[in-house]
Structures are given as C-alpha cells and as structure tokens.
Structure 1
Amino acid sequence: MRTSSGNHGPFLSHLLNPTPSLKAKARSFFPAASSRTWRRRSLLLSLPLSILLSTPTSAAAPAPSYDPLSDSEKNASAALSGRVSDATQLLDLARDFQAKGDFPQALDYFSLVIRDYKDFAFSEYARVGRALALYEIGDREEAIAEMEDVSISLKGYPEIHAALAAALYADKHAPLLAENQFAIATLLDPHYTDLSYVRETKHWPPSLVSSLQHFITLT
C-alpha cells in the first residue's frame, strides 16, 4: 500500500513537519547548550598544565622542627640555671641577715656563696658582704685583706672603696691611702659622704659606720 506525506496521521505529521514555534525552541535550546560546553572547554584550556595534571592531596604534614641543642646541652643548661638560682637565694639570705644586724649569720651565708659558687661573677659581691661582716665580728685584719683584694677585682665599685677608706684610716692609720680610696668612691657615688646612707640603705655594721665617721671628720 502506497503512502504519501499527505496521508500521515496528525501526530506523525506534526513530528515530521514541526510548527515554527517548536523549531524556534529547538534552535534556542541547542545553541545555548553548545555555548556552555564551549565556555567550559575554553576555561579548561586556559588553565596551567600543572593545575590540570595535579591531583588533590591532603594538607602537607609540617616539617619536623630543628632543635639546635642536644640533650646533654639541655641538661647542662638546666643544671646551671639551678645553681644560679641556689646561689642567688643564699646571697639574698645573707643580705637579709645583714639588714637585720645579724652579722654572724650573714657571714655564714656570704661564705657559702664564696665557697660553693666562686665560679660565678657575682660571688665577688658576696666577698664585699663577707668583708663587712668580718670587720664587725672583730676579725679586722682579714676584713681589710679581703677589702683590698676585692677593690682590685671590683675596681670602680664604690662601696668597697668607701669601706676600705674607712678601715685604712681607722685601723691602719693610713690617711693618704684612705683619701685615694674615698676619692674613687665619692666620684662614682657621692652618697658615701652620708653616714645615714651607709647605715640605713647599705646596712653597714656599726663598727664600720663609726670608722667612716672618724675618717670624714678626721678624728
């Protein structure tokens, strides 16, 4: 049986001969889809090759930290810190006893610092306190020897020069040497001309304060 285009049913005829509105919708749909595909391809082609070839990975692990100190160096540092702390506490105790006027106890603690921590530079300041305590308890010969020695190792430290000046004048009857030491002390710190300063601020023992008074008044 022959068929012709004119004999198609309504539904088949509609498919074979779409209406103008259907043609317009098809043209508007397919070019748009093609345009989006083209834009995606253009974007991919514009990316650097390293990005295209890279694969997603988890966050990089942090690099291991570098510690320049060995365990033995850390242990030595901790031991040194402990010794410094112990020595400082002893020195503070000695000065507390000195401030209270307990010079025998001050002498014991100053002596401990000098004996056990003589490798520390601040042990020289403990020697100053020890010399003052020795002077007070009556061992003036050793006290003056200590002052003379420390006046060299701590040259320019005004307290030791002032103390030595007082002792040289009162006990050694050496006014010229005393004047030289006192000139150094007062050039660096004029407070040492004030008896209340050495007594109340520096906590000198009464015997050394008396010797300094004799020197200042030339009596």
Structure 2
Amino acid sequence: MIKLIGIFLSIFLVFGWTAPAFAQTPSITPEELQVGDDLATKAFAATNKGDFVTAESYWTEIIEKFPTNAGAWSNRGNSRVSQNNLAAALTDYNKAVELAPNVTDPYLNRGTALEGLGRWEEAIADYNHVLALDPQDAMAYNNRGNAEAGLGKWEIAIADYQKATEIAPNFAFARANYAVALYENGQIDTAIRELRNIIRKYPQFADVRAALTAAYWVGGQKGEAESNWVAAYGLDIRYKDINWVKNIRRWPPSLVSALDKFLNLQ
C-alpha cells in the first residue's frame, strides 16, 4: 500500500498491487522475470522511502519491458499521484483499466485521481464499478463517500462511510470520515462521541485529534481543544495549514471553519 496525497484521496488511502505478476506476461523468460522482479522490488523500496520520483522511473522501466502488465501501469500511476501529477496518473490508470478490466485496484486508484481533479461523478462511477465487482470492498464505499462529500451530499456519504465500517470495523479512516460527515450534517454530539471513541482505540490519530480540537473549541471546551491540539500538531503539522485541511484533507466546511477559529483564537 502507499499513501496518496491526502486526497483522502484516500486520506483517503489507496491500494497498490503488491506484485506486478510478470509471470502472466506471454513468452517471458526466467531471466526477464528476474529483471522485472528486481525492478519492482526497487520501486517499492523507493516508495517506502517517499522517493516517488525514483519509484516512477523504475515503474517506467518495467513498463518499457512489460507494456501489457496492468500492475506496473497502476503502480506508476500511484507514484505520479504521490507527486500530485494527477493528469499523468490518470493516463496510467486508464491503461491499467484497459489491460485488467475485471480487477478492482485500477478503478479505485483512478477514482482517487478523479477526485483530486474535482471530477466527482466520474470518480463515483469508478467506485460503483468496483462495488459491482466486489460488493464487500470497504475502500470503495469509503472513497465513494469522499466523492459524494465533494458534491455536498453528506447524508449519502454518511451511509457509505457507515457501510465501510460495517464491512471493516478497524478501518479507522472510514470511521473518521463518518464522524466528520456527521458533524457537517448537524449531528454534533454524535460526531464528537464517535471521534472520542476512535481516539480511545487510536490515540495517535492526528486527523481525529485535530477534528476534536475544532469541535471542542467552537463548543466552548477550550481546555479540551488545546490538549487535543498539542497531540494533533505533534503528530502532523499540516493541520496548522487551513488550506491543506480544506483542499487536500477535504474536511467539511463547518469543521474547517471551526479549526480556523481555533488557529486564529477567535
């Protein structure tokens, strides 16, 4: 797995294929297979170090040697998304979908790139296709919720986030997305209760700490807000950047406004 640009975009997290399956390529020799495996190992190592430029170069080399390998195209797309090069990533995902139309990962990955471009309806169509292939795909429900939230359809998004958590109870980001969507929908007490429950299990979850900061501050619980902020900022300084919270993390408007009030001590 790799982390995408907080597009949540799946902060939302997106799965990359863990192996490019070179053996499925026709007429491949053992020597060529070894070369492909070695390059993929280097690509994943670079990804794990956060060196997405180098990872992209390895995937490009693999694609040149194995142009019909859908996994290589999809993983190069992931490397490009991690550099915020969404248009180029979309081209790679389109090719991966063409080569592997019955595999879910390219659709999931393409959906998150489409989200990053604000093409919500197209992203939803990709997630619908994933769910047609696998009705129990929790990531697809979570990501579809993200796209629906992008359209301001909060009640529909809440239902999808809830479904994701029913399928995968330990899917912490889906639970966080569910909570912040509840907050936007006016279910403040329920949202805060859910956020607190998440923190009990995942005390170092920066997103939830920051959300509690915002909710507590506008609710008048300033001590609670400040203590949660110390934890949130210590875990991830990006929450101090309201533009990142709004446009990359894509919190709902009411929570963004609440955090902005805290950051400016209003």
The Cα shift of 1:200 comes to 0.3
Indicate the residue corresponding to 2:207 in structure 1: 159
Task: Please report how far the alpha carbon of residue 162 of structure 1 lies from its aligned counterpart in structure 2 after TM superposition.
Answer: 0.2
Aligned to 2:224: 177
Q: 1:115 aligns with which of 151, 161, 166?
A: 166
TM-score (norm 2): 0.48
Instruction: Give the AA of the match of 1:213.
Output: D
Percent identity between matched residues is: 29
Partner deviation per Cα, 1:19-74 (whole Å, 9 max, x = no partner): xxxxxxxxxxxxxxxxxxxxxxxxxxxxxxxxxxxxxxxxxxxxxxxxxxxxxxxx
- Alignment of 1:102 onto 2:153: yes
Give the direction of change, closer, same or farther, for the CA distance of 1:151–1:140 in structure 2 (3 Å limit): same
- Structure with bigger gyration radius: 1
C-alpha displacement at 1:85, in angstroms?
A: 5.8
Are 1:217 and 2:264 counterparts? Answer: yes
The answer on 1:168 being equivalent to 2:219 is no
Could you tell me how far apart the structure 2 residues matched to 1:130 and 1:210 are? 18
* Distance across 1 between alignment mates of 2:178 and 2:225: 20
Q: Which amino acid aligns with 1:130?
A: Y
Contact 2:136 2:167 in 1 (8 A): no
Number of corresponding residues: 134
CA distance in 1, matches of 2:137, 2:250: 23
- Contact kept, 8 Å, 2:138 with 2:165, in 1: the verdict is no
1:13-162 to 2 correspondences below 5 Å: 86-118=137-169, 121-122=170-171, 124-162=172-210
Please give the alpha-carbon distance, in whole angstroms, between the structure 1 residues aligned to 2:137 and 2:161. 13
1:108 deviation in Å?
A: 0.9
TM-score (normalised: structure 1):
0.57
Gaps of 5+ in 2: 1-132
Whole-Å separation in 2 of the counterparts to 1:101 and 1:182 = 27
In the alignment, structure 1 segments of 5+ residues that lack a partner are: 1-81
Q: Aligned with 2:203: secondary structure?
A: coil
1:199 maps to 246
Q: For residues 226 and 191 of structure 2, what CA distance do their matches in structure 1 show?
A: 19
RMSD over equivalenced CA pairs, Å: 1.8
CA deviations over 1:100-135 (Å, ceiling 9, x no partner): 3322221110011123332xx22x221100110100
**What letter matches 2:265 in structure 1?**
L
For residues 58-100 of structure 1, the C-alpha deviation after alignment (integer angstroms, 9 at most, x for no partner) is xxxxxxxxxxxxxxxxxxxxxxxx9796212112211222233
The residue matched to 2:137 in structure 1 has which SS? helix
**Which amino acid is the alignment partner of residue 194 of structure 1?**
D
Distance, in Å, in 2 between the alignment partners of 1:116 and 1:195 is 32
Q: Could you tell me which amino acid in structure 2 is paired with residue 207 of structure 1?
A: S
Partner secondary structure for residue 129 of structure 1:
helix
Structure ranking higher on relative contact order (CA contacts 8 Å, 6+ apart): 2
- Note the alpha carbon deviations across 1:161-206, whole angstroms, 9 max, x for none: 00001001112x1111111111111111111011111110011111
